[in-house]
Amino acid sequence: GQNIDQPTEMTATEGAIVQINCTYQTSGFNGLFWYQQHAGEAPTFLSYNVLDGLEEKGRFSSFLSRSKGYSYLLLKELQMKDSASYLCAVYDYKLSFGAGTTVTVRA
Amino acid sequence: KAGVTQTPRYLIKTRGQQVTLSCSPISGHRSVSWYQQTPGQGLQFLFEYFSETQRNKGNFPGRFSGRQFSNSRSEMNVSTLELGDSALYLCASSLSGSDNEQFFGPGTRLTVL
């Protein structure tokens, strides 16, 4: 089975940093995705980690530790437009999504 | 280039009916995946098609089926609708599979009364 856990909600201030954790216990693992979904919109791709370590892409970074079954998404210099749901998904020839973390950015 | 399109955008059906949803992927993308999204269960994988073949299937009953055509367009069908099938159905396309970046369509909002 697939068990993917992430916090339900997080709130942060504009300009701050927020770290969204994702832990997983899955029957197989070939990589981990992060997607962003604004309310009422479709998910959009943020990152894909296959190997352990940190991947940086602009204000967003994603980290993976396969031995610990752990990933995080780091959002730096938060902007109001970053208010959205962030979905962690494990790829094992198909995607299994976590429930998502709703991030609210306050002025 | 044009994004993923889904039709219809909204649909209202009654229990016991069947429904067909359509998805047109981004030009050149050969993989199409379907997902169901509900407030309670989140985003759940239904199935993936690649070059007209079903490559993977999620844990949904046989009432949920799909197919892909030679032009990569895909349809999913739900027969004998139940109230619990009310959801947003999203399709996503990618070049070669869901281990690549997937591009999601806007979804079809299905309401079963």
Work out the number of other CB atoms within 10 angstroms of the CB of residue A66.
15
Question: What is the DSSP code string of B78-90?
Answer: E-S--GGG-EEEE
What is the C-alpha to C-alpha distance for residues B98 and A95, in angstroms, rounded to an integer?
Answer: 7
With an 8 Å Cβ cutoff, is A42 touching chain B?
yes
Q: For residue range B83-104, list pLDDT tens digits in order.
A: 999 999 999 999 988 888 999 9
B75 near B19, Cβ under 8 Å? Answer: no
What is the C-alpha to C-alpha distance for residues B38 and B58, in angstroms, rounded to an integer?
Answer: 15
For residue B42, the chain A residue with the least C-alpha distance is A99
Tokens of B35: 């997902």
In terms of Cα–Cα distance, which of B37, B52, B88, B84 is closest to A95? B37
Alpha carbon separation from A32 to A18, A46, B84 (Å, rounded): 19, 11, 29
With an 8 Å Cβ cutoff, is A100 touching chain B?
yes
Q: For residue range B7-41, list pLDDT tens digits in order.
A: 999 999 999 999 999 999 999 999 999 999 999 89
**How many CA atoms does the CB half-sphere of A40 hold within 13 Å?**
0
Distance, in angstroms, between B91 CA and closest chain A CA? 9
Tell me, what's the pLDDT at B100? 84
With an 8 Å Cβ cutoff, is A57 touching chain B?
no
For residue A31, the chain B residue with the least C-alpha distance is B99
Residues in chain B: 113
**Among partner residues A30, A45, A93, which is closest to B102 by beta-carbon distance?**
A45
For residue B32, the chain A residue with the least C-alpha distance is A94
B99-113 average pLDDT score? 94
B42 vs A94: CB contact, 8 Å cut-off? no
Distance, in angstroms, between B113 CA and closest chain A CA? 22
What is the C-alpha to C-alpha distance for residues B17 and B112, in angstroms, rounded to an integer?
Answer: 9
List B87's β-bridge partners, or say none.
B110
Tokens of B23: 């998805």
Question: Contacts of residue A99 in chain B, CB cutoff 8 Å?
Answer: 42
Tell me, what's the pLDDT at A1? 66
Tell me, what's the pLDDT at B2? 82
Distance, in angstroms, between A58 CA and closest chain B CA? 17
A94 vs B103: CB contact, 8 Å cut-off? no
In terms of Cα–Cα distance, which of B23, B31, B51 is closest to B96? B31
What is the C-alpha to C-alpha distance for residues A100 and A34, in angstroms, rounded to an integer?
Answer: 10
- pLDDT tens string for chain A (107 positions)? 689 999 999 999 999 999 999 999 988 899 999 999 999 999 999 999 999 999 999 999 999 999 999 999 999 999 999 999 999 999 998 899 999 999 999 99
